[in-house]
Structure formats: C-alpha cells, structure tokens
Structure 1
Amino acid sequence: MAFYPLNARRPGDLIRTNVTLKGLYSKARELERLQALVNVVMEPAAREHCRVASLRDGVLRLIVTDSQWATRMRYQQKRLVRQLQAYTEFRTLTKLHCKVQPPLIQKAGPVRRMKRSKVASESLFETAEQVTDSALKGALERLARHHADD
C-alpha cells in the first residue's frame, strides 16, 4: 500500500492550475518556438553555440558561447533580421543583441595515452634487478608489469 500525501498532484495538473507555473511554461514554449525559427535561418555550425534568450521591444537577445560567435552573429545581423522578419513572431524585429556566456560544463580534452612496448617493460625489469632499495624495486616491477599487459 503506497502513501500519497494529501497535497500531491500530477505535474500536468500543477501546470494547468498554478498561475506562476503556467506563465513559466508558456514562456518556455514561446522561447522554444523562437529557437526553432532562428535555427531555420542560422548557419548549421552556429546552431549549437547560440540560444534565444528573449524577444522584447524589437530586440532579439541571443546567448552565445564565446566572443567569436558573437562577432559572427553581428556580421550576419542584417541578413538574419531580414530573414526572421518573414515570420509573424519576428515582424517587429529590428536588432540582434548577443551576450557571451560560456557553457557551465567544459568539454574534456582528448585523453592522450602513452604507447607501451615490450622493450620498455624489459628495460624496467632489468633496472629493477639492479636496484637495492626495496620500495623503488617494487615500484619499477609494478610499472614493468603494467607495460607488459598490452
């Protein structure tokens, strides 16, 4: 038998009844629609770097990932405005404004792997045999076994 608190409601019911959530949801849907239209006229390489922030008073505000894309959007501003004005949502559009905001999660760089060889493994084993310090000898042998695995 499951326990449900008395005030528990389905998410769909909350969106339809709560005025604040209803407004946020409609604004999110509007921004999603504007983003889809901007993606139609934007060059494919720029789509992942530009997000629609708002459309107010004839100014379309875009959030771009870095200054390079902001500059490219400024160079294409006249063309983009002209093409976007063909859509009813953008008929009052007069200007683009770009704000640079780097992504919160940085992409990890490529992992560089060290090439391992039998010769290196054998050389490490031979060096370990010559060493008198037991800690160093153990470390060299572990490293040699690690190289021998490939």
Structure 2
Amino acid sequence: MKRPSRAKSVADILDTPDGVLKGLLKQSNNLKSINDSVQQMLPDELKDHCQVSEFNQTSLIITAENAAWSTRLRYISSELLANLRKAGHYSLANIQIKIKPSQFR
C-alpha cells in the first residue's frame, strides 16, 4: 500500500507560478482594489447599496441592491467611468449596472 503524499503548506501552493489558487488570489485582490476605488468615488447615499461584482480590463459590472439604487447609479455612471480612467484604469471602456437577485423567503 502506498503512503499518501505529504500535505503542502498554503504558502507553497501560492508560490507556484501557475497555481490555480494564486490566480484566484490575484483576481480577488484586483476585484477588492477596484471596489475600494469605486466606493471612494460614489456619493455617500450609494456606498452601502452598490458594489463591484465583476471586473476585467475593459468592463466593470456594479451590482445594486434594487432598482431604485440602480437608477441612481446609472445617472452617475459616465462620471464614475471618467473618474476611474483618471485614477489609472485607462482600458476601462464601460460600466454595466445590474440588480442584485432577491433572496427567496
């Protein structure tokens, strides 16, 4: 009977150049970074009701709690896009607004 291999530490797994976890960690950090930038640029009344849900180099998807917050966000989306470009996200081409799915009760 073959003995199971020794478990690897999390640090070893994250240090592998092509590791899946390393890619997920990088994607998570990028998402957090852009969400922090967006939160700083949003008006105070929107900050608790909207968050970045997806981000790639050209597209940003922001999810709002409901249709009312989504509408308010749409009004400022072009200004938000311009501010994000000024902040260094030059390749960002558009912002999409989506409504958070409701929870079934």
Q: TM-score, normalised by structure 2?
A: 0.79
> What amino acid is aligned across from residue 32 of structure 1 in structure 2?
K
CA RMSD in angstroms comes to: 2.4
1:80-101 superposed Cα distances (whole Å, 9 cap, x missing partner): 112111111x212232101111
Number of the residue aligned with 1:38: 38
1:19-60 superposed Cα distances (whole Å, 9 cap, x missing partner): 111111100011111111111111122222222122336321
Number of aligned positions between the proteins:
101
Higher helix share: 1
- Greater RCO (CA < 8 Å, at least 6 residues apart): 2
* 4+ residue runs over 4 A deviation: 103-106
Shift of 1:79: 1.4
Which residues of 2 match residues 114-129 of structure 1 at below 5 A?
A: none
Number of the residue aligned with 2:7: 8
Number of the residue aligned with 1:97: 96
Mapped contact 2:70–2:98 kept (Cα < 8 A): yes
Number of the residue aligned with 1:19: 19
Separation (CA, whole Å) in 2 of partners of 1:7 and 1:104: 42
**Residue ranges of structure 1 left out of the alignment (5+ in a row):** 107-150
Mapped contact 2:39–2:51 kept (Cα < 8 A): no
**Residue ranges of structure 2 left out of the alignment (5+ in a row):** none
Separation (CA, whole Å) in 1 of partners of 2:34 and 2:104: 25
Q: TM-score, normalised by structure 1?
A: 0.58
Q: Structure 1 residues 51, 9: closer, same or farther in 2, change over 3 A?
A: same
Bigger Rg, structure 1 or 2: 1
Separation (CA, whole Å) in 2 of partners of 1:44 and 1:103: 23
Q: Structure 1 residues 48, 16: closer, same or farther in 2, change over 3 A?
A: farther
